[in-house]
Amino acid sequence: MTHFNLYSLYYDLLYSDKNYSDEVQYILNHLSPNTNLKILELGCGSGGHAEILCRNGNQVVGIDLSEGMIDRAKQKKIHGFEPLLRNIWSFNFNKKFDIFISIEVRLLPVVEPDLLFVSYKKLK
């Protein structure tokens, strides 16, 4: 088991006091008042942000490189959330999105222009 997959076993416990609602509200405050947005979340982890975004009437496709995180996200059975095992640098599928977000990608110390370009191409 890789270190990150081992980390996924304890992720929700370690972040049980994290205020996902405030972080999601910050995002929602900067979006149109419409719900039912199609959102791509890069580095979705176990689905903490997606759960709140979906509760607000949006649809979220989340991608993460950790099989353990994706398994945890799927176990939560969040309505409107599709967690997928993908690499954020090379994912490809035939879906378009209104916006993309990346809140918890810790492996990128700065936002890489190439990642923004790859992600931008997935928008409508």
**Which CATH number covers residue 84?**
3.40.50.150
Give the structural domain span for 26: 3-120
Separation CA 104–CA 107 (nearest Å): 9
β-bridge mates for residue 101, sequence order? 41
Predicted TM-score of the model (pTM) = 0.79
**83: pLDDT strictly greater than 90:** yes
For residue 49, the one-letter residue type is H
Which structure tokens are listed for 108? 């990128």
Which pLDDT tens digit goes with each residue over 109-123?
A: 444 555 554 555 555
Burial of 5 (0-12, 13-18, 19+ CB in 10 A): middle
Give residue 31's pLDDT: 73
| Alpha helices, DSSP H, located in 39-106 | 48-55, 67-75
Look at residue 48 in the predicted model and tell me its pLDDT: 94
Per-residue confidence at 32, pLDDT binned at 50, 70, 90?
low
Q: How many domains, the chain?
A: 1
Q: Strand 59-64 to strand 38-42: parallel, antiparallel, or no bridges (unpaired)?
A: parallel
